Chains A and B, each alone.
Chain A
Amino acid sequence: MISNEVVRHLQAILPPHSLLLAREDLKPFETDGLTAFRNTPDVVALPETEEQVKQLLAICRETGTPVVFRGAGTGVSGGALPVDGAVLLAMTKFNRILDIDPLARTARVQPGVRNLAISEAAAAYGLYYAPDPSSQIACTIGGNVAENSGGVHCLKYGLTVHNVLSIRVLTIDGEEMVIGSEALDSPGYDLLALMTGSEGMLAVTLEISVKLLPKPERTQVLLAAFDDVEKAGSAVGAIISGGVLPAGLEMMDKLAIEAAEAYAGAGYPLDAMAILLVEVDGTQEEVSEDVMRVRDVLLASGATEVRTARDEAEQKKFWAGRKAAFPAVGRLAPDYYCMDGTIPRKALPAVLKRITELSAEYALPVANVFHAGDGNLHPLILYDANQPDAWEKAERLGADILELCVEHGGTITGEHGVGVEKINQMCVQFGAPELLAFHGVKACFDENALLNPGKAVPTLHRCAEYGAMHVAGGKLPFPELPRF
């Protein structure tokens, strides 16, 4: 529990509507987009000014009170899960777009601005912000920086880290720093890359400058249906090795198609075992040529049907279904557990096959939604949290899927972050020396481990415990493979 003394300090700097203390008000903050993990916070702070944030961090530093940061609470790795005795600091009131510079093609925004709001505001200048997580309608850019979020268009345009120019942060020591610059590179170590994806462990972000891209002259989306998931998986590799780099290359299997179609009415073929959505963009000529090439590859890979979107409205519908696919599976089961592994593209067919087998072994349906082009898998394990042991079973299946990814030379997270969810799998991914190095980096910024403690990087002790419980732990298959 947080002490009364800390609460009194907080009351002195925050107005009553910016400081929640009653259990009734706190409970709705107990979880983010990953509802299997819940912990009611002791205090929620909703500051409105940077001065309040500074004072709050000073109080936390002086009293040794941990702080957990939260954006819109759409994350799916439990990064914003409250920690006992900590202040939950929600940055949602910092929701202003400060400046758009159409000539430099940059936007300067506060951390609570929604990802999509940046593109909406930039649209007036024919520009947009490229990384587009599926939750882009709601997730905040501050959260995107913390998790190094990806999205449908990251295959061609990169993750958050490739699209942020600079950030202004505040450390727990009260030091304000601008990291990065308006130029594409800055002298010294690339600390911007370190901060991006640091999951609220190093500093709090106060302001972010992002790159904006000109909207392509033309965009076209192809939808291909397959009667076999593995064929769809093979087609993904074939498209890219055929020399086309699509702006987006996504895959959904039958269950995901069913759920997404029920929400979006996009016209997805409900009898297909899998569909691929392929977006190509560029000049008129490039797009015309790429559409034909992609179509040929898809048909050669065994697609039963290839359609191109009739117009922009249909393109939007194709994507609307895909982007809402996670929550839309809420129509099929009361709860879902979203995984986020990556694998080399060539391993896709084999991994898909094994996931189907695992799903049958655990008797839990798995809907598959992939950023297929980047080999980033999002198997959604469907379960019913009201049934006893259902979550535990889903979690074990999830762990097996992640370790399957590592086994094929992949990683345990593509874009959702580690949070609390994948912290045990960090022990599978990394050895003790690497983890110690991570702790060393953390200590440079936050010596007393007050920022988001217990997330993202496991202690060696935790890994030892996990290894003891877990049969596969410590005995990695393919030990010769490089881990990253």
Chain B
Amino acid sequence: MSQTAAGALTPESADGSGPPADNYLTHAHGVRSWLFTLDHKRIAVMYLVGILGSFVLGGVFALLVRTELIRPGPTIMSKDMYNHMFTLHGAVMIFLFIIPGIPAVLGNFALPLLVGAKDVAFPRLNLASLWLWMIGAVFFVVTLHVGGLDTGWTFYTPYSTETPSAVIPAALGAFVLGFSSIFTGINFIATIHKLRAPGMTWFKMPLFCWALYATAIIQVLATPVLGITILLLAAERVLEVGIFNPKWGGDPVLFQHFFWFYSHPAVYIMILPGMGVISEVVAVFSRKHIFGYRFIAYSSVAIAVWGFLVWGHHMFTSGMTPLAAMIFSALTFSVSIPSAIKVFNWLATMYKGSISLATPMCYALAFLFLFGIGGLTGLFLGTLSTDVHLHDTYFVVAHFHYVMFGGAMIAFLAGLHYWWPKITGRRYAERWGQLGALLTFLGVNLTFFPQFILGSRGMPRRYYDYAGLLDRHPDFQQLHVLSSIGAYLTAVAITVVLGTLIHSVFRGRPAPANPWGGATLEWQCASPPPYDNFASTPTAGDPYAVDEFEYDPAIDGYVRRSAPNPPGPCPVPSHD
């Protein structure tokens, strides 16, 4: 796809309004120029292709699971196959899609542009990260072919040490993907520390950079623990080292501590960059300066650090002691504070703003609604007494899908649509984009809202059959049907979204340098950006001074108010 994209864009005008003839897509040709590139923008595009492929694969697994559950008893697959399907859905979506999703695609593309740099600090490490992602993906494909995986994405012992399914290839895949994620994190921290343009102090950085920085802290501090946990699991299966196996005096609950020390902070790896995207989108499409800049910035770091203190809330029913459970429950409540700070600041940004319902903003509004529900239902689960009732029910499934799909995925789509004109140099059809956002919003709600009801009434997660529950809860049938219909609607919505975006690559109008009126530095270079991003190092001003830009119908984009000429391929000098 990338190849064709490059090809389709080549013969464009260089008159300043359309894509410049020499940009990062056309700078070099051939497969090798992509696979061995050190350009952060090309690496981001390759990540995008891979990640969307994984998303589609994981989505197919989800559709199969929902189809199986459309009526009680066997529908389309065996019980065993069902266990494989929900496991692979979770593993592919989490390890291959959501964790690298926003940082490796949008972060990789935008971060150096946002801070006014020519590349990330370590371009080779960035390429290595992409290659490790590909190797990880290959491990998952191997897993599919040599017996699948039926442990659930959490690899809980002791089942994962006993099952005949292909735990080791999947575990090694997750291990490799972990290092891919670590490399991205190291790169981003070093880039933000050392490569900011002159004038860009910490508090003049776009909030997406703050979010990526906070994410990178988690990637660096938490992911190694996943690595060693997974190595121990593999050693358990191959060598019988017994650390997690009661047979040799080991402790399976210890595995859960190890696993969640990574995997709870990993939840914030998934959502924090999404929050950063929303901060950008809300300000630009409200045509207002972001409200509470410092609070949003600090809250990102607070979430990153606080996120390390709450992992035990996954283990309230695992035999944890009441003392530890109370500590973890109290800490879990307090982590909701920085998230709420962000939401209130976004709302305050929109207040009295001149809101334009362009596609990215539609996603941002959907994010606020869905993340609100996802976040608030988390409090039910952080409460010890209610969690005992709700643990391992569909309530949990609905909660984290509202956060992961309604939060991370919607924010990914918001960011993808926001930066799409910059990435491809093309504009997508706005109406179709909005339709895709609306359908996605409806689909997600229809899929997951019934699951809250199912879960609160006792429908356990990961069950193949619910015939035995229908005597007491006959309405479970309808709720499952509604949820499955929602899944199909979401599939239609994603088809519309991807169709719109792919169509724009071939048929879209050329995008101006600044289609939305953003004040961050990436909008100062051409769409798509030249190979080197900035011909001369730009000087940064206030990233949210959006009122300094006005719409110019001649180029269907925004220009600086005082500037007599529209911005060309070179950055506009500083303003203060």
Chain A complexes with chain B? no
Residues of B participating in the A interface, judged by any CB pair closer than 8 Å:
none
